[in-house]
Amino acid sequence: MRVAVISDIHANRQALEAVLASVDASGVDELWCLGDMVGYGADPNDCVNLVRQHASICLAGNHDLAVTGELRLDDFSRGAALAARWTLDVIGDEELQWLSSLSSEATAEQVGLFHGSPRDPVWEYVISTLLADLCFDTMRTRVGLIGHSHVALAFHRTDAELATGDARRAGDNVDTSNAHWLLNPGSVGQPRDGDPRAAWLILDTESGIAHWQRTEYDIAGAAAAIRAARLPDSLAERLQYGQ
């Protein structure tokens, strides 16, 4: 099965629509979402409904759980907390109910799915080989998908060696048919790796080949929507820099 994997949309409708068009053109069998449909951006209802329509699996991210009330806003940065409070004012009852029904981890096609990590599906950022090693010790599947960090990454570990890992760019491929792997598709709505294009991943669960993707989108339109909603200007400004 060929699946498209997305994460960290953060209510960026312009980015999500562009990625969904690219996903449709790629001919994959399913779409999996690793969470954070809301937060930071100006179109939470549209993004929730688009993911509901297109994704066969969807996880809850920490920003989703902030809006459903399962996490305290005191645990978030100022900008994230302000965006969550604004989202609570505008999100629909049906959309909120659907978010409340989601889990932060799942398993499909012998692949583990986690918003954060196998050790902490909600909060842990896996951005170092040390943390990846600890996650491999915990993970029950050989391959895992993680989001949350907004950076496209791949970590792997063999039985004889400690984990190694690198950031991944558009067009990069890895073969996950051997060893243990943690793959991060990067962020659709707020990339933080210096590339402002929306990030996502195609994984062939039979061959094991993972292929990182980037998609151009209307950054100016997304930024204008954030400003029109009177969310912090920094949330709009950072999009053009991929930070």
Range 2-241: architecture per CATH: 4-Layer Sandwich (3.60)
* Domain ranges within the chain, ordered by starting residue: 2-241
For 75, the 3-state DSSP assignment is helix
Whole-angstrom distance, CA of residue 167 vs CA of residue 97: 35
What is the model's pLDDT at position 80? 93
* Average pLDDT along the chain, 243 residues, taken 10 residues at a time: 98 98 98 98 98 98 97 92 96 98 98 98 97 96 98 95 95 96 98 98 98 98 98 97 96
Q: Which two tokens stand for residue 217?
A: 């989108």
* Cα angle for residues 102, 103, 107 (degrees, 5° grid): 120
What is the model's pLDDT at position 160? 82
For 125, the 3-state DSSP assignment is coil
What is the model's pLDDT at position 24? 97
For 54, the 3-state DSSP assignment is helix
* Whether the model pTM is above 0.95: yes
